[in-house]
Structure 1
Amino acid sequence: MNNIDEVSSRMLQEVCDNIKTAIEQGRTDIIKSVLEACEGDDIEPNLRKENVLNNPLLEDGTFLYMATKMNQGDVVRTLLSCGADPGVQNSKGLNAIDVATSEQMRLIYIEELLRATANSEVGRVCQLIAAGININSWDSEESKNTPLHWAACYGNKDIVTCLIDRGADVNAMNSCGATALHDAVLRGDKDIVEELMQGGANPLIQAMKGKFGGKTPLDLASQKPEILALVKRFTSFSPSVNGHQDISTLVHQLQHSSSVTSGGSYDRGERVRSVSVESFSSGGRGEMLQHRDGSTVSVHGHGFPSERKQSSRSSNTIVFSSQASLLDLSPRIDQAIENLVRTHVSTPVRPLVTHSSLHLLWPQPRRIVELEGPPFVPQKELHISIIQSPVSIHRILDIWDVCRPTLIALGFDVKIGDVQPSCGRWSESQVECIVNEDLFSYKDSYQIHINSDRARIGAGSLCGLHYALCTFTQLLRLSVAGPGNSVLVPVLIQDHPAMRHRAVLLDISPRGRVPTLDFLFHMINLWSSMKVSHLHLYTQLLPSSEWQLCFTRSEVVSIDRYCQDRFIDLLPVLDVDTHVSYEDLTDMWPAFQEILASFPNLRYVHIGPKLCSLLVRPEEIDEVDGVSSDSCQYASLQELWHHLSLPPNITLMLCSNRIQQHRVQFFPSNVLFVQYGFQADYDFLEWTQDFHQQGTMTCLCPGTASWNSLAGCPEASICNIYHAVQAVGEQGSLGVIVAHWSGSYHLTPHPFSWPGFVVGSGLSWNPETHLDSLHNSLGDLLNTHIFLDSENVIGRVIIELGYAETYALRSCRGQDQSDLSDLPAQDGSALYKLLTDPDNVNLENLTVDMFGRVTKHIKKCQNNLFRAKVQCLFGEMVIQELQLATDLMLTACRIGRTLIGVGTNPNSNMGLAVINLGVCNLPPTFRTDIANKLLAHIEQYKGTWLQRHLPAGLQTSLLVLTSALHRFVPDESQGT
């Protein structure tokens, strides 16, 4: 027997040594193999996995304690997944939770608690809570969902009971202000609702934003009789009238119910938590772990712990970085949303849509009603039955023909099935189509009704039919399970545009980043699919009477025809180079006239900022010979009409920014003012107020914020466009024009403009779209509708790179990370200037640590690009452009980091902490290395440019990179 015990002890020691060595080396595969060998009924009791895992076999304690103390994250995950108990104490009374001091470790343990909660593993949850994990911990600072929120979403009654019995705050609110009761009521889970109500849940807590924005659990329950009955059961009510309780009475009684909270009466002002996002530069999120003695350890940005006693009313939390982000950075747009909310810019509550295939329709339809019944399975050949109406059947088929390439790409084809009389008849066709303006309240309205048998598509106009087919193809794409294999849920969609002018402005100045004709057609297809109504082609002309557009006359006609087929009106934006004077215009009028003559369907002529400023001259403001300034301006516009040979039915669009400086008060009625404003916090309401008081119509022009940078500034674009859309709604403006400029040297590739285009098209169609839901789904929208990335990578990378560049810009300025002022930077972002003009970058607020974090951020994005599976046209070129953008950003970070290293002031108490000593004082080896990098970037830049852009602007664009190259080449190696 003793021999058997010795053998068993030796085997146990060997197992311990193997696992200990594997922990030290981070070898999770060895740990799994050893533990698997310890499973089975024929194994000695002391060698079984449970004994090995959950006994303090080491001097310090358990293997989990050792791995946690060594910060071996993967090993800790492996041990927890194998069933390791973090509550097992060593000889000093400490367990694994007590040594989980790093953010990585805290994240792993809270993830295990949430996983067990979601899987309703009651025993495991109790074990983890007993080990010392705070039951009211948050999953992340961004969402602030507690385990009870997770239980209400994924768990069952037993797990909810377990959490409440152990002290879970039943009225804890997440960052949107929603409680667990919101989720339980939405699910219609009577058992969980009953358990929460019995535990003191308050059905009157109103969510601040998100899918429950503006709603209480009582609001959600009002449409669910059984759930509403539970609310009545746990609250004192007066007798109902005819068996029904009046909702207002119910609310009144709930507000005075002392049983709502454990503390008596409910004070909403005391409970509501304001949304906040920690500064990216803080490096910490104030995480806390609760110990068994009631104290908490708060670990701040750089790991300095501070002990403090737990207040009786405090709610201790464990907070971790958002898993929604690819990086260790908080998304800045969250703060932008909070700023909008604080300035009382709000969005109305939208009806809840539960089916996932309807969540990413874009623009969001104004009304979606989910219907009961089995799904609709379309055949690969979509047979269309057209109902006769005043609209020509051939015109209707033309709309379907334009849609055909997209349907074919999805595995479907369109076939004419039959034609029905106006009164209709039974048809075997799966798709029924009618265009009849008498059926709709708005001209361009449409309706899609899908049941188990067929899809009925109706529209008030041919344009409305085009919009309907855009939505229909999106439904097919979002529900596709393979080529030609889609299952559509029964649904009723009723929709129409909120604004008449939903436009994009594309800078095609001859020396800019001008797309090739094929690439422009591709962009037009995408804008059309997002229901854009107008395309403004902007160009700057030089003093000449020659043809100066980058496209030929015949190409302009082709572009116009292509746009007309997709219900986009094409119009020119005429402007002049900054060096053009008023006297030069005399020679330029023929060139303007020739350009206008090339646009066959001209309804608007848009006059750009510089040309408009020449026409509104300061010397005409004062009275001249008794003639008022208003008369002068009127005469100036008549002169413009005459010189451009404009017919009387043309609407002239003038840049109002210059005009408002001179307080001109009279213009012809057929003039539309365009207010340009591209900053995140630009107040369109203030700047256009005078025009509207004068009865003049305006159109607002925000921007994509993707110029003078390397990766754009998505949060500035979103906030800028959102402010414009809100102003349109308040003032009744014509609409929104989302502008994309080439910027200085045109270094920013077109993919970074798409967040702005997507946001602009969606909000101008449906201003009631929730801004926070837009933020959460923007990456998915880009991947689904623009880049067709099945791995859902490209859109997210574009946004994340923009966050990184914006963070670096704010850091350079010493600006708070929630500050929206002066975004985007008019003179270029910090990384852009480090690449193009590093000697003039202020380094005072920059640190090596900041550049290290941004570099890590960019590299993660770069690595994720290899996973992308882009199926759109020019998809490979998109990836190449993004790879080049990341390379340029990394080079800029290297330059900045090295400048700081060389210029650090050891006597910073006597002056600046960092001095920019310039490129000439950098080590020659570093300069040579950067020069070689830039040389490679230049060659790559040429290749990506010429793949889908006209060569005319390439040399101007390369000038900035070649200048940077020469700046870094050491003097002795420049040669000739």
Structure 2
Amino acid sequence: MKAPSPPIRVPTEAELEQSTPSELLLLSATLGRTDLAVSALRAGAAVDDVVPSSSSHARTALHAALSGGHVDVARALLAAGASLTKHDAGGETPIAVAAEDEAVQTALSAHVCQRAAAGDSHAIAEAIAAGMDVGKTDGSPAVNTPLHWAAAFGQVSAVRVLLQAGVDVDAANAKGDTPLRDAAAAGHVAVVRELMSAGADPSFKNKKGSSPIDIATSDELLGALHRSHQGEREVAEHAVGSVEGEDGPETPYFVPGERTRGGARLAGAKAEERPAWGEMLWPRPQRFVEAAPKGFFTMPPVVTVSAENECMQVARMLVTWMRNEKLGDDYTVKLVGGGHGGLGEALEFSASVFLRVDARGVEGAEQAYNLTVRDFGIDVVGVDLPGLFYGASTLFNVFRLRKEKSKDQSAPLAIPTCRISDWPSIRRRALHMDISSYMLPKRETLDALAKFLAREMKMNQLQLNMGPNFVRMSDLSGRDAMRHEDILTFQNVCHQHFIELVPVVSLGDQTEQRRESGDGNTNGNGDHHSRSSQRKKRVADEMIYDEFVTLFDSPQVNLGELSEKRTSDSSDFERLRAATRGLRSRGKQTFQIYGSQIPETLADSPVVSSVLAEIPTRCITILETTLADEDRYKENCLRMSQYGLPFYTCSSSYLNESLAGCTSKALDSSWIAVETAIEQGAVGVMMKNSSSATHSAPLVFLYQALIPFAGAAWNAKQEVGRVSSGPDDVLSHLYDMYIFGDPTEKGILGNIALSLGDLHLVAGDSTGKALSSLLTNRRGNSISAIEEMTYLGLRKALKRAERIENALSSYVGNAERTDVLEMRVAAILMGVSARLGASLFSVSSANSMDFANSFRESPLRISALPDGRRSDLCNSLLHGIELFRDAWMQRYNEVGFTATVELLTGEALTQLADGMPYQRYLEERKAHGWGPGRE
């Protein structure tokens, strides 16, 4: 036992006046003054600051409180989010220096129990890492362990962390009840399954002779208590229910579940447990601690937002968001002026929400923030302005979530007292957006994209691949080409939301390359031109340099692909050096290049130094993920790290060749990129939205891929979309919340998006390309794509697409109409693809088992289909294209639609309409750029 702490003394006036908030907090903890500690926290003290002390080495307030035995102060600090793993100047954690007396140890155990009841698995993991025994009881007469608390409150994640720590799964409390009995009594089926899988005894009797089986009140509970983990999973999947169709039973929608990474498990649209409102914050905060005991900040009728002068830009945005969201008819949101010194302090304590920047008071490096909700107001503190912006965006989403979760919409909006400490796992988080293939978004679309990336997804870089559009659009149509002022205005929107806008240009089109080579008859790639063509090309190149690249004030430029060859030769690097020299003269300092072959070249070269000397300085290599060979991809990233070459890891949105995207592949790609970036110290992580058919994919499916990618890039600890995500529908709810703005619809649109994103898997198409290729294939008259699929799979895909289309056509929720329309278009066109494939199967004399061989011997043609079936397919496809045009016109400029729609009016539609009444109609619509037909 340690010696008792000295008696509590009153601090001197000098100590109070001369102390900073953090110094005052340490002094309060040392003296055991809970009242002063609370005042210091309200004044902005950082709860985990390591502060020098006159009586000891530098330490946090929690170190001082625990070592001195000041239990009440320790409880207040823990409720404010104090870390149990923070080291003092001597390298000790608060647990290591804690007094051994019973009151201190009971307070620590009670803290773990409270966190278990709240489902705060991160706080429990932190306590374990700090060396705490998380199997100890709470010190109450009930003698409950943290596992009892987690089980009784249905907190699956907390139960899982405690079990992994090795706590006794059958620990009995004062009544002889085990955690399994508490979970069964409360009806928490998911917790019962977790405990059973860890070996809990369902026949364990308490002091009254009652076992968990005796109190089971439902067949589902009894099933979980009687079966093994594998058996109970089968029961749960069977209990979901199915829809009987002509091709057998089928579950309506996909939701993410227990699977290999990226694969989807069939499950119902309902989850066993909807996530708590805090779990819906996205990207998920690094630390989220609710106050204990829980209090609330109740929104007053007049909500005042204030900030220090330099933070008013962020405060204005927050006020605008709150006003636009319409938190309720009874609320008025006002912005009051900022200030410093006494005025700033007065505003801080009188405002409902106060925003400030303080590099000393925030855990984490750049872009970090603390968000503290107290019963008298809310503070947002950023380590810098971007961090403050991200804190304000989190607060806005807290408001929005609490509003949507409120059972009584007429009641005042109440925010639980809590503290969020947050920072990004990866500093640079980028989206490469390809709008060069005629897909030129309207300014409103680009503005909405930038705001979505920044406020909802906390991404801070947008790369625009649009050089050909900027240069050549006026040649195609002067109506809608992007102008200089459009780029400058959009760049300003990005700046306001702390997004760096980076131009992407093609390395093969560099004027500097041609000047360096001295060859007047080639374009640097060996293609010969006439003098007029060469002059026109030079003018285009100069426009890219002087009128496009220089419009962007970012010091970075993405130079595109280095080479399509597996290895790079000296000419590749010479082109790269020539391009960087030309761009440096225009103020650009850093250059990015897609050069997946660079680490291969380093591995194959006998003289590595010669390869390193060829690469220009300040050149960042972008390495795209390789799903087919993940180990090799990680080896290449490791090689870049070992040689000190900066690089981005890059995932794909997997929109290529698919009108609906490929959700499974997007999840795979995202996690490979993020995990590798963390492991190998990449300078950033990027998602690439670029392919030959990107412009035929609805924008809503780009957003779908961004949700898991951005969440992982900000907080690599969160598990949504990973192998261990479990059988819940969190991802579908996130889509509803952040894409569709409709969290009250119980995941219906999110489930539909997931289902459409993996519809190809139902059809038996493992590549994700074959199903859509039935409509876009141009390799002669044969439809080779169906070699990848089965008749039964195509029939199932057709039925699913039809049900989705029916659901979307009657949808009356609050989602933006364009999003719903885009998904409806995808459902219709994917359904036509499935129907076309099934029709070709049906007219084949071969069965599905040997169809591929039969197909190669005697290729099928669409013309072999009966006239009635061709007419039906043609009608459906034309209807889908009409809706596709409607959705296009809401998102993009009209100039690119004609080129895009050629994908859907190519071989398949031409053959379907051949000799039918639709042929002339189709020709007329094409002649008018798919505009209004002749009357």
Where on the TM-score scale, by shorter chain, does this alignment land: which range?
0.5 to 0.7
The equivalent of 1:884 in structure 2 is 825
Q: What is the CA-CA distance between 1:883 and the residue it aligns to?
A: 1.5
The verdict on how the C-alpha distance between 1:652 and 1:568 changes in structure 2, with shifts beyond 3 A counting, is same
Q: Which digits, 9 at most, give the CA deviation of each residue in 1:799-852, with x for residues without a partner?
A: 1111222332xx24xx6xxxxxxx5x4xx3324335645823254564433222
The verdict on how the C-alpha distance between 1:957 and 1:410 changes in structure 2, with shifts beyond 3 A counting, is farther
Query: Are 1:590 and 2:542 an aligned pair?
Result: yes
In terms of Rg, which structure is larger?
1
The equivalent of 1:567 in structure 2 is 498
The verdict on how the C-alpha distance between 1:690 and 1:363 changes in structure 2, with shifts beyond 3 A counting, is same
- Out of 351, 369, 391, the position equivalent to 1:429 is 351
Q: Matches of 1:868 and 1:188 in 2, distance apart? A: 53
Contact 1:368 1:491 survives alignment (8 Å) = yes
Q: Secondary structure at the match of 1:392?
A: helix
The equivalent of 2:678 in structure 1 is 729
Larger deviation, residues 752-761 vs 411-420 = 411-420
- State the one-letter code of the partner of 1:923: P
Q: Matches of 2:736 and 2:852 in 1, distance apart? A: 49
Q: Which digits, 9 at most, give the CA deviation of each residue in 1:544-563, with x for residues without a partner?
A: 79989942111000110000
The verdict on how the C-alpha distance between 1:546 and 1:802 changes in structure 2, with shifts beyond 3 A counting, is closer
- Out of 448, 455, 462, the position equivalent to 1:535 is 462
- Out of 421, 425, 432, the position equivalent to 1:498 is 425
- State the one-letter code of the partner of 2:905: T
Larger deviation, residues 923-932 vs 328-337 = 328-337
Report the TM-score when normalising by structure 2.
0.63
Q: Secondary structure at the match of 1:492?
A: strand
Q: Which digits, 9 at most, give the CA deviation of each residue in 1:57-100, with x for residues without a partner?
A: xxxxxxxxxxxxxxxxxxxxxxxxxxxxxxxxxxxxxxxxxxxx
The verdict on how the C-alpha distance between 1:928 and 1:635 changes in structure 2, with shifts beyond 3 A counting, is closer
Alignment of 1:238-257 (within 5 A): none
The verdict on how the C-alpha distance between 1:491 and 1:228 changes in structure 2, with shifts beyond 3 A counting, is farther
The verdict on how the C-alpha distance between 1:210 and 1:656 changes in structure 2, with shifts beyond 3 A counting, is farther
Q: What is the CA-CA distance between 1:472 and the residue it aligns to?
A: 0.3
- State the one-letter code of the partner of 1:448: L
The equivalent of 1:652 in structure 2 is 591
The verdict on how the C-alpha distance between 1:924 and 1:581 changes in structure 2, with shifts beyond 3 A counting, is farther
Q: Matches of 2:790 and 2:550 in 1, distance apart? A: 54
The equivalent of 1:457 in structure 2 is 380
- Out of 909, 912, 918, the position equivalent to 1:965 is 909
The verdict on how the C-alpha distance between 1:859 and 1:906 changes in structure 2, with shifts beyond 3 A counting, is closer
Q: What is the CA-CA distance between 1:867 and the residue it aligns to?
A: 5.7
Query: Are 1:442 and 2:365 an aligned pair?
Result: yes
Larger deviation, residues 426-435 vs 397-406 = 397-406
Q: Secondary structure at the match of 2:505?
A: strand
Query: Are 1:920 and 2:851 an aligned pair?
Result: no
Contact 1:504 1:534 survives alignment (8 Å) = yes
Q: What is the CA-CA distance between 1:739 and the residue it aligns to?
A: 1.5
Q: Matches of 1:540 and 1:890 in 2, distance apart? A: 35
- Out of 389, 392, 405, the position equivalent to 2:310 is 392
Q: Matches of 1:969 and 1:189 in 2, distance apart? A: 79
Q: Matches of 1:962 and 1:586 in 2, distance apart? A: 35
Q: What is the CA-CA distance between 1:512 and the residue it aligns to?
A: 3.0
- Out of 804, 807, 811, the position equivalent to 1:861 is 804
The equivalent of 1:674 in structure 2 is 622
- State the one-letter code of the partner of 1:475: V
- State the one-letter code of the partner of 1:525: K
Q: Matches of 1:328 and 1:436 in 2, distance apart? A: 52
The verdict on how the C-alpha distance between 1:335 and 1:657 changes in structure 2, with shifts beyond 3 A counting, is farther
The equivalent of 1:283 in structure 2 is none
Alignment of 1:806-817 (within 5 A): 806-808=761-763, 811-812=764-765
The verdict on how the C-alpha distance between 1:665 and 1:444 changes in structure 2, with shifts beyond 3 A counting, is same
Query: Are 1:476 and 2:476 an aligned pair?
Result: no
Alignment of 1:368-387 (within 5 A): 368-371=288-291, 372-386=293-307
Contact 2:557 2:590 survives alignment (8 Å) = yes
Larger deviation, residues 632-641 vs 525-534 = 632-641
The equivalent of 1:304 in structure 2 is none
Q: What is the CA-CA distance between 1:384 and the residue it aligns to?
A: 2.5
Q: What is the CA-CA distance between 1:971 and the residue it aligns to?
A: 3.7
The equivalent of 2:452 in structure 1 is 526
The verdict on how the C-alpha distance between 1:596 and 1:398 changes in structure 2, with shifts beyond 3 A counting, is farther
The verdict on how the C-alpha distance between 1:325 and 1:642 changes in structure 2, with shifts beyond 3 A counting, is farther
- State the one-letter code of the partner of 1:216: L
Query: Are 1:784 and 2:703 an aligned pair?
Result: no
The verdict on how the C-alpha distance between 1:766 and 1:869 changes in structure 2, with shifts beyond 3 A counting, is farther
Equivalent pairs, count = 675
Q: Matches of 1:525 and 1:483 in 2, distance apart? A: 30
Q: Which runs of 5+ in 2 are unaligned?
A: 1-134, 182-197, 205-219, 244-249, 265-272, 510-521, 527-533, 603-610, 924-935
Q: Which digits, 9 at most, give the CA deviation of each residue in 1:475-533, with x for residues without a partner?
A: 00100044895221111101011111111111111x33222111111121111112110
The equivalent of 2:97 in structure 1 is none
* Root-mean-square deviation (Å): 4.7
Larger deviation, residues 594-603 vs 496-505 = 594-603
Q: Matches of 1:385 and 1:457 in 2, distance apart? A: 10
Alignment of 1:741-890 (within 5 A): 741=690, 743-744=692-693, 746-770=695-719, 771=722, 772-773=724-725, 776-789=729-742, 790-791=744-745, 792-808=747-763, 811-812=764-765, 823=767, 825=768, 828-834=769-775, 836=777, 839-844=782-787, 846-866=789-809, 868-871=811-814, 875-890=816-831
Q: Matches of 1:340 and 1:227 in 2, distance apart? A: 45
The verdict on how the C-alpha distance between 1:447 and 1:220 changes in structure 2, with shifts beyond 3 A counting, is farther
Q: What is the CA-CA distance between 1:861 and the residue it aligns to?
A: 2.0
Q: Matches of 1:221 and 1:672 in 2, distance apart? A: 51
Q: Which digits, 9 at most, give the CA deviation of each residue in 1:768-814, with x for residues without a partner?
A: 11134497311111111221123232222111111222332xx24xx
Query: Are 1:360 and 2:291 an aligned pair?
Result: no
Q: Secondary structure at the match of 2:463?
A: strand
Q: Matches of 2:848 and 2:648 in 1, distance apart? A: 55
The equivalent of 1:156 in structure 2 is none
- State the one-letter code of the partner of 1:806: L
Q: Which digits, 9 at most, give the CA deviation of each residue in 1:122-160, with x for residues without a partner?
A: xxxxxxxxxxxxxxxxxxxxxxxxxxxxxxxxxxxxxxx
Larger deviation, residues 644-653 vs 363-372 = 644-653
Query: Are 1:941 and 2:884 an aligned pair?
Result: yes
- Out of 576, 600, 607, the position equivalent to 2:559 is 607
Q: Matches of 1:715 and 1:319 in 2, distance apart? A: 23
The verdict on how the C-alpha distance between 1:232 and 1:880 changes in structure 2, with shifts beyond 3 A counting, is closer
Contact 2:241 2:251 survives alignment (8 Å) = no
Contact 2:262 2:663 survives alignment (8 Å) = no
Q: Matches of 2:138 and 2:814 in 1, distance apart? A: 36
Q: Which digits, 9 at most, give the CA deviation of each residue in 1:263-291, with x for residues without a partner?
A: 9xxxxxxxxxxxxxxxxxxxxxxx9x99x
Contact 2:841 2:848 survives alignment (8 Å) = no
Contact 1:450 1:456 survives alignment (8 Å) = yes
Q: Secondary structure at the match of 1:653?
A: strand
- Out of 612, 626, 629, the position equivalent to 1:665 is 612
Contact 2:637 2:676 survives alignment (8 Å) = no
Contact 1:444 1:496 survives alignment (8 Å) = yes
Contact 1:547 1:594 survives alignment (8 Å) = no
The verdict on how the C-alpha distance between 1:734 and 1:870 changes in structure 2, with shifts beyond 3 A counting, is farther
The verdict on how the C-alpha distance between 1:189 and 1:680 changes in structure 2, with shifts beyond 3 A counting, is farther
Larger deviation, residues 940-949 vs 654-663 = 654-663
Contact 2:467 2:544 survives alignment (8 Å) = no
Q: Matches of 1:559 and 1:316 in 2, distance apart? A: 50
* Percent identity for Structure 1 against Structure 2: 19
Larger deviation, residues 439-448 vs 645-654 = 645-654
- State the one-letter code of the partner of 1:926: R
Q: Secondary structure at the match of 1:960?
A: coil
Contact 2:369 2:423 survives alignment (8 Å) = yes
